[in-house]
Chain A
Amino acid sequence: MLEKLEKLRVEALEALETATTSQQVEEWRVRYLSRAGELRRAASAISEVPSEEKPTYGKALNELKRQLIELHKEKEERLGEAGFVAEALDITLPGTSRRIGHVHPITRTTDELIEAFARLGFAVADGPEIEDCYHNFDALNIPPEHPSRDDYDTFYIAEDSLLRSQTSTVQIRVMESQEPPVRVIAPGRCFRPDTVDATHYYCFHQIEGLAVEEGVTFGDLKATLTTFARTLFGAGTETRFRPSFFPFTEPSAEMDVSCPFCTSAGDQCSVCKGVGWVELGGCGMVDPNVLDAVGYDSEKYTGWAFGFGIERLCMMKYGIKDIRLFFGNDLRFLEQF
């Protein structure tokens, strides 16, 4: 058995001598010194050694191991000083590719919105996409003859079954299921039979927000949405509120934010067209008819609500010019997010 060990030593020394590159040295190490290497094999062979020879064998084995490790170390050092430089790797080559997938820009924007409102104490609510007329219209104070109920403006599956045309439906669902105080946002898919072009698509996303408590005011609406706008677009963002009309809020407003993309005064900004303000969406105090419809005491509780288009926010934020890209799923687009 000891002869075998000697043979191994000669072989190993020879092999190390002929190794000239760091790769060859590494191969040598794997062959002789690794867990599955020759030395380990020789060590396990001790069971075949007659018991009287075992101590000698073990000693010789340890000696061989020590010698090989030392020689290996020396060889490596020598290569590092001189030889290694000659065959150095090009470390400017790209790293091994590990591709991660990309989150859809609408998801990314939605997550940012959820995050911003979570900080203000808003929970996320969801509701069905297939709705009835009661939740999509009646409870939202939209009169029976309102044109938005026409099949030019709403997709129908049956007479009283439709694809929600706004996420405001979730306001009603939430208030039906709980007592005040309510503080939720509801992002989700909506549908309208719009003709498809660069700014319209028949599927789109909205985010609805609702706060109902005792003592909630229009001043509070302004404060909360201003804080939100600053979270999303930066601390210097200004907001303004223009009177408007929605059946489910009164007073109602359109909210504008100071254009986050104008770099300097007079800059012909492609987002705000030089106006300095961009429209974010609608908001207002919840109409008492809506509170009454869900059985809340509209004398005691007040509330505010808002609804923003997520595609619009996303297009603004990332400079996307065509809404159709969102549902096109072109990887050259998706990979940018």
Chain B
Amino acid sequence: MIVPTEWLSEYVETGLSAAEIAERLTFAGLAVEGMEEDPVAGPVLEIEVTSNRPDCYGVLSIARELSAATGAPFRMPDLELDESETRAEDLCAVEVLDPDLCPRYTARVIEDVKIGPSPEWMQKRLEGAGLRPINNIVDITNYVLLEFCQPLHAFDAELLTDSRIIVRRAVDKEKMTLLDDKVLEMTSENLVIADPGGPVALAGIMGGLESEVRSATKTVLLESAQFDRVNIRRSSRALGASSDSSFRFERGVDPVGVELASRRAAKLMAELAGGRVAGGLVDVWAAEWQAPEITMRFSRLDKLMGHHYDSGDVTRILEGLGLKRTHRDAAKIVLTVPPWRPDLEREVDLIEEVARIHGYDKVAAMPSLKVALPARNELVETLRSARRVMNSLGYDEAMTDSFSDPRGAAHFHLWADAEPLALVNPTSQMHAGLRDSLLPNLLAAKKANQDAGREDITLFEAAKIYLAKGDGAHEERPMLALVDDRGFFSAKGAVEALGAGLGLAEPLAFAEATVPGLKARLSAEVSLGGGGGGREGGGRIGVVGEIASEIASAYDVESAPAVVEIDLAALMAAPKRPVRMEALPRFPGVRRDLALVVDRARSWSAIEEAARAELGDNAVGLELVNVYEGDPIPPGRKSVALSVLYRSSERTLTTAEVNSVHDEFSRRLCEKLDGEMRGV
């Protein structure tokens, strides 16, 4: 809402500068977002009106706020009408067929108007407020619209068939040409103002071309009405037609003000266009407005705000805003609400009025919260630990859209059987599907960095995916995904480190598996170790692998990176290793190595399992040293070097006994794995 300060001063004389007015309004709740010097209208304020105060799209309400905020008296414009002998009801008739969409419709008739330019003072104010002057009658309707926040429409009464107004729903496919030459085809969802010959205006939105006020107009039928907010909004959207009028009707107008604005405009038409105002108002009003009454307890006001308010101040503030006091005692005040303030319904609404006009700055900042111990949030802690682990391993945290590239849905459909959830109303700049894997967007992020010339890209994201469950149900699952140019074992190592970093009781288990989107033989399923699943299958909580080459080319990423996606909720729920200190060893350990040549098809996990089963007395650790293929190892075989740590908690082991245990272990393992010992 744009308003020249000169216009405000007609209703409230504050003696303040424009900047001071802006400050007072802002701290009373009408945020002044901008201030400009208009060459014609002088200083103008640009006010941001909150959605609970549509009345502030009228200059009068802004003036009333300013009056309440400054204490300067508020003056209503003069509304005394000089009416002629002729009665309006003899000149026109109004019929409202759909009172639900038009709670009030009034018509007034002004005869013998002379169309011409409006006076300079009015033109200035209109221009200052951003409207273009047209002629005295149209300008008056616009002026009162801005003043009272009440849209008005002036018909040329002689162009209305039978001088009859019928407010009705349009017939399907009914057509009308609007003031802006636009031809509309309407439906029964749209309300029209019609005469017996057909529609003459799209109710509350725009007048029709055929009944418009022209230079030859002599008699004006002045419409002032209240229309259903939702219907106006829907019609305006559906038909692509909007105006300053529809903007206000959508937000709601004052049902009592309908008549006041009509009176104000008629008076101006008499004064500025030489018109004669016919007596009376044709008024079709479904239900007359009743002033609601609200009680406010002073104690409640003080209790909510943490501040003591003087009851005299309270009364002055509320009366200044146009409420009428009906009762006051030491405990409470009872007031009726003015018709332009339907937002005031409850005690708390009045508390807010008092608080904002009195000033939030007057309430002392007084902490009253008692000491409290915040509860831990397991998921937040898990996310934080996971991010810390990934950062320390060199992975950079990415944050990608919740909406997924459709390529991804086809390639990485890992966690749900149902089709991905989709938005009904995506914007043109985004994908419609909700991601059911973090990988597609992460690959796109890798691609973008690759295009920027980066190499060795290692990115991760920890965020939710959205899984459709059928029957409209869905699940949100927190996942961690990564993309890693350093290959499969780097990615796998990251998963192992993540498990360790989160303190899992058992290391995560990996099993070779066919995973959609990943390279065969270079992909694995991750499951919780120990009793948590693993080789029995079904316990998959994650995948790791290098992406299949056709997918790498689909995303145009170089060198098929390794990826991981793992369920953080499962990691969060998995048993954790209790942190208990173990006594430090008192006796030295002895390390013995062993190199075995075995069939190259034997997996490390099989070798490890066999080795652990054969470990002899005092063996406390087993490690893989390296795996070697090639000369001098015969083709089809590989050398696997292990290291075993021997230590007793009771004494220093002798070389002889360690050697004997280790030799026996080596011999048995060799036999079991069908291998031979290799000289170290």
Q: Are A224 and B377 in contact (CB under 8 A)?
A: no
Interface residues in B413-431 (C-beta closer than 8 Å to A): 421-427, 429-430
Q: Are A241 and B372 in contact (CB under 8 A)?
A: no
Q: B30: nearest residue on chain A (CB-CB)?
A: A243
Q: Are B426 and A288 in contact (CB under 8 A)?
A: no
Determine if A250 is an interface residue (Cβ-Cβ < 8 Å): yes
Q: Which residues of B are found within 8 Å of A120, using beta-carbon distances?
A: 369
Q: Are A220 and B369 in contact (CB under 8 A)?
A: yes
Q: Could you mark each residue 351-379 of chain B with 1 if its beta carbon is under 8 Å from any beta carbon of chain A, else 0?
A: 11001100011011111111111111101
Interface residues in B386-435 (C-beta closer than 8 Å to A): 387, 390-403, 421-427, 429-430, 434
Q: Are B402 and A189 in contact (CB under 8 A)?
A: yes
Determine if B163 is an interface residue (Cβ-Cβ < 8 Å): no
Determine if B349 is an interface residue (Cβ-Cβ < 8 Å): yes
Determine if B307 is an interface residue (Cβ-Cβ < 8 Å): yes
Q: Are A219 and B364 in contact (CB under 8 A)?
A: yes
| Minimum C-beta distance from A133 to chain B (A) | 13
Contact of B374 among A121, A189, A226 (CB under 8 A): A121
Q: Are A195 and B372 in contact (CB under 8 A)?
A: no
Q: Which residues of B are found within 8 Å of A218, using beta-carbon distances?
A: 304-307, 355, 360, 363
Q: Are B373 and A242 in contact (CB under 8 A)?
A: no
Q: Are B230 and A251 in contact (CB under 8 A)?
A: no
Q: Are B402 and A203 in contact (CB under 8 A)?
A: yes
Q: Are B397 and A107 in contact (CB under 8 A)?
A: yes
Q: Are B348 and A329 in contact (CB under 8 A)?
A: no
Q: Are A217 and B306 in contact (CB under 8 A)?
A: yes
Q: Are B377 and A106 in contact (CB under 8 A)?
A: no
Determine if A37 is an interface residue (Cβ-Cβ < 8 Å): no
Q: Which residues of A are found within 8 Å of B472, using beta-carbon distances?
A: 158, 161
Stretch at the interface among B21-29, B111-119, B510-518: B21-29
Q: Are A104 and B397 in contact (CB under 8 A)?
A: yes
Interface residues in A145-160 (C-beta closer than 8 Å to B): 145-147, 151, 155-158
Query: In whole angstroms, how far apart are the Cα atoms of A93 and B164 in the complex?
Result: 94
Q: Are B399 and A106 in contact (CB under 8 A)?
A: yes
Interface residues in B270-289 (C-beta closer than 8 Å to A): none
Given A114-B380, A203-B401, the answer on whether A193 and B425 have CB atoms closer than 8 Å is yes
Q: Which residues of B are found within 8 Å of A167, using beta-carbon distances?
A: none
Query: In whole angstroms, how far apart are the Cα atoms of A195 and B428 in the complex?
Result: 9
Query: In whole angstroms, how far apart are the Cα atoms of A145 and B305 in the complex?
Result: 30
Query: In whole angstroms, how far apart are the Cα atoms of A273 and B352 in the complex?
Result: 31
Q: Are B50 and A250 in contact (CB under 8 A)?
A: no
Q: Are B375 and A329 in contact (CB under 8 A)?
A: no
Stretch at the interface among A15-23, A94-102, A263-271: A94-102
Determine if A69 is an interface residue (Cβ-Cβ < 8 Å): no
Q: Are B445 and A215 in contact (CB under 8 A)?
A: no
Q: Are A103 and B387 in contact (CB under 8 A)?
A: yes
Determine if A140 is an interface residue (Cβ-Cβ < 8 Å): no
Given A101-B390, A107-B397, A288-B348, the answer on whether A202 and B466 have CB atoms closer than 8 Å is no
Residue of B305, B346, B400 with most chain A CB atoms under a 10 A cut-off: B305
Q: B48: nearest residue on chain A (CB-CB)?
A: A244
Q: Are A222 and B449 in contact (CB under 8 A)?
A: no
Interface residues in A310-337 (C-beta closer than 8 Å to B): 326-332, 334-335
Contact of B391 among A103, A106, A114, A195 (CB under 8 A): A103
| Minimum C-beta distance from A189 to chain B (A) | 7
Stretch at the interface among A3-11, A58-66, A84-92, A123-131: A123-131
Q: Are B363 and A244 in contact (CB under 8 A)?
A: no
Q: Are B365 and A219 in contact (CB under 8 A)?
A: yes
Given A129-B402, A130-B466, the answer on whether A334 and B348 have CB atoms closer than 8 Å is no
Contact of B377 among A125, A328, A330 (CB under 8 A): A125
Interface residues in B437-454 (C-beta closer than 8 Å to A): 445, 448-449, 452, 454
Determine if B600 is an interface residue (Cβ-Cβ < 8 Å): no
Determine if B535 is an interface residue (Cβ-Cβ < 8 Å): no
Q: B233: nearest residue on chain A (CB-CB)?
A: A147
Given A157-B423, A157-B434, A242-B26, the answer on whether A104 and B398 have CB atoms closer than 8 Å is yes
| Minimum C-beta distance from B341 to chain A (A) | 13
Query: In whole angstroms, how far apart are the Cα atoms of A145 and B304 in the complex?
Result: 29
Determine if A216 is an interface residue (Cβ-Cβ < 8 Å): yes
Query: In whole angstroms, how far apart are the Cα atoms of A11 and B426 in the complex?
Result: 81
Stretch at the interface among B207-215, B456-464, B606-614: B456-464
Query: In whole angstroms, how far apart are the Cα atoms of A136 and B511 in the complex?
Result: 43
Query: In whole angstroms, how far apart are the Cα atoms of A141 and B466 in the complex?
Result: 28
Determine if A13 is an interface residue (Cβ-Cβ < 8 Å): no
| Count of B interface residues, CB-CB < 8 Å | 84
Determine if A302 is an interface residue (Cβ-Cβ < 8 Å): yes
Given A124-B380, A130-B466, A183-B372, the answer on whether A243 and B424 have CB atoms closer than 8 Å is no
Q: Which residues of A are found within 8 Å of B390, using beta-carbon distances?
A: 101
Query: In whole angstroms, how far apart are the Cα atoms of A135 and B115 in the complex?
Result: 55
Given A101-B397, A102-B397, the answer on whether A241 and B360 have CB atoms closer than 8 Å is yes
Determine if A259 is an interface residue (Cβ-Cβ < 8 Å): no
| Minimum C-beta distance from A304 to chain B (A) | 10
Interface residues in B469-525 (C-beta closer than 8 Å to A): 472, 474, 476
Interface residues in B10-41 (C-beta closer than 8 Å to A): 26-29, 31
| Minimum C-beta distance from A238 to chain B (A) | 11
Given A103-B391, A329-B398, A331-B457, the answer on whether A220 and B425 have CB atoms closer than 8 Å is no
Q: Are A334 and B396 in contact (CB under 8 A)?
A: yes
Query: In whole angstroms, how far apart are the Cα atoms of A329 and B459 in the complex?
Result: 9
Query: In whole angstroms, how far apart are the Cα atoms of A227 and B346 in the complex?
Result: 32
Determine if A206 is an interface residue (Cβ-Cβ < 8 Å): no
Given A103-B391, A217-B304, the answer on whether A223 and B366 have CB atoms closer than 8 Å is yes
Given A129-B476, A130-B474, A151-B425, the answer on whether A121 and B372 have CB atoms closer than 8 Å is yes
Q: Could you mark each residue 162-188 of chain A with 1 if its beta carbon is under 8 Å from any beta carbon of chain B, else 0?
A: 010000000000000000010100000
Q: Are B396 and A101 in contact (CB under 8 A)?
A: yes
Given A202-B430, A219-B363, A331-B452, the answer on whether A155 and B425 have CB atoms closer than 8 Å is yes
Q: Are B351 and A329 in contact (CB under 8 A)?
A: no
Determine if A191 is an interface residue (Cβ-Cβ < 8 Å): yes
Determine if B51 is an interface residue (Cβ-Cβ < 8 Å): yes
Given A189-B402, A202-B429, the answer on whether A101 and B368 have CB atoms closer than 8 Å is no
Q: Are A124 and B377 in contact (CB under 8 A)?
A: yes
Residue of A120, A145, A242, A302 with most chain B CB atoms under a 10 A cut-off: A242
Q: Are B367 and A223 in contact (CB under 8 A)?
A: yes
Contact of A243 among B230, B360, B377, B398 (CB under 8 A): B360
Determine if B327 is an interface residue (Cβ-Cβ < 8 Å): no
Q: Which residues of B are found within 8 Å of A227, using beta-carbon distances?
A: 367
Given A183-B369, A329-B459, the answer on whether A253 and B360 have CB atoms closer than 8 Å is yes
Query: In whole angstroms, how far apart are the Cα atoms of A332 and B366 in the complex?
Result: 45
Q: Are B346 and A288 in contact (CB under 8 A)?
A: yes
Determine if A134 is an interface residue (Cβ-Cβ < 8 Å): no
Q: Which residues of A are found within 8 Å of B391, using beta-carbon distances?
A: 100-103
| Minimum C-beta distance from A151 to chain B (A) | 4
Q: B28: nearest residue on chain A (CB-CB)?
A: A243
Q: Are A126 and B367 in contact (CB under 8 A)?
A: no
| Minimum C-beta distance from B215 to chain A (A) | 39
Contact of B429 among A104, A122, A163, A195 (CB under 8 A): A195
Determine if B651 is an interface residue (Cβ-Cβ < 8 Å): no
Q: Could you mark each residue 300-317 of chain B with 1 if its beta carbon is under 8 Å from any beta carbon of chain A, else 0?
A: 000111110000000000
Given A157-B422, A203-B402, A213-B369, the answer on whether A250 and B363 have CB atoms closer than 8 Å is no
| 19 A–B contacts, CB within 8 A, in A order | A99-B394, A101-B392, A101-B393, A103-B397, A104-B398, A114-B380, A121-B371, A157-B421, A196-B427, A203-B401, A217-B305, A218-B355, A219-B363, A227-B367, A240-B361, A250-B348, A329-B448, A330-B449, A331-B457
Q: Which 6 A-B pairs have the closest CB atoms?
A: A217-B306, A219-B306, A243-B29, A245-B50, A243-B356, A121-B372
